[in-house]
Copies of this chain bind each other. A is one copy, B any other.
Amino acid sequence: MSSEKLTQFLQSRGIIGAAQAAEIAGQFSSKSLARHDFLLREGRVSDEYFFLDHGLLRAYACNPDGHDVTTAFYSSGQVVFEVSSFFTRVPSQENIQALTDCTGWFITFEQLNALFHARPEFREFGRSVLVQGFATLKSRMLAMITTSATERYEQLLKTTPEVLLHAPLKHVASYLGVTDTSLSRIRAGAKTVAPD
């Protein structure tokens, strides 16, 4: 498998040049996941900084009452890991599971730190990844407060339609903060009353 996408990704923020990107990419190991495989299981420490080349993943947390809540979807071109567990070396409260067969590249926490130490540009790149994740989450939170479930659904449909092709509706529903019943109705066209 070619690591071209990864190399491109490393250059994408204008911090790392082509030559260094290739060198850094060389440190990554390839990894494949079959559908339903786990990248991370609850209770274990997230130790793989995983660049997703192809496929779709879902992160979710389990409520005490048994229901699981989707906390994120990851599509190709993104880095997948549980920030808190990875950097704090604490057991993850989340699972990350493949919704489709996946391929990608990873380095361990140890490797990442060595690279951060050896390559200031990569360190800055890593911070940039973190900051972007932060900004994405903030914007999702704002949308949760200011927009309706219907608008959030339509936004998801517009920005990452591939999620809706591979994730069962209940996973999407908890991600959007509604029940699967409600999401089903939203998809049906928001007819709560006046069915005719």
State in angstroms the CA–CA spacing of A149 and B21 once bound together: 47
Tell which of B83, B135, B138 touches A131, judged by Cβ atoms closer than 8 Å.
B83
Encoded as 1 (CB less than 8 Å from any B CB) or 0, chain A from 48 to 83 comes to 000000000000010100000101000000000001
Q: How many copies does the complex hold?
A: 2
Number of interface residues of A (CB under 8 A): 28
Interface contact A144-B141, CB-CB below 8 Å: yes
CB of A190 to closest CB in B, whole Å: 20
Complex contacts, A138 vs chain B, CB 8 Å: 71, 84, 137
- Among residues of B, the one whose C-beta sits closest to the C-beta of A85 is B135
Q: A71-B141, A84-B134 are in contact. List 16 more A-B contacts (CB 8 A).
A: A69-B142, A69-B146, A71-B138, A71-B142, A83-B134, A83-B135, A87-B131, A88-B128, A88-B135, A117-B120, A127-B127, A127-B130, A141-B141, A144-B144, A144-B177, A145-B174
A-B residue pairs, 6 tightest by C-beta:
A84-B135, A145-B177, A87-B131, A83-B134, A137-B137, A134-B134
Could you write out 20 A-B pairs with CB less than 8 Å apart?
A69-B145, A71-B141, A71-B142, A83-B134, A83-B135, A84-B135, A84-B138, A87-B127, A87-B128, A87-B131, A88-B131, A127-B130, A130-B130, A130-B131, A133-B134, A140-B141, A141-B141, A141-B144, A144-B144, A145-B177
**A residues with CB within 8 A of B:** 61, 63, 69, 71, 83-84, 87-88, 117, 120, 123, 127-128, 130-131, 133-135, 137-138, 140-142, 144-146, 174, 177
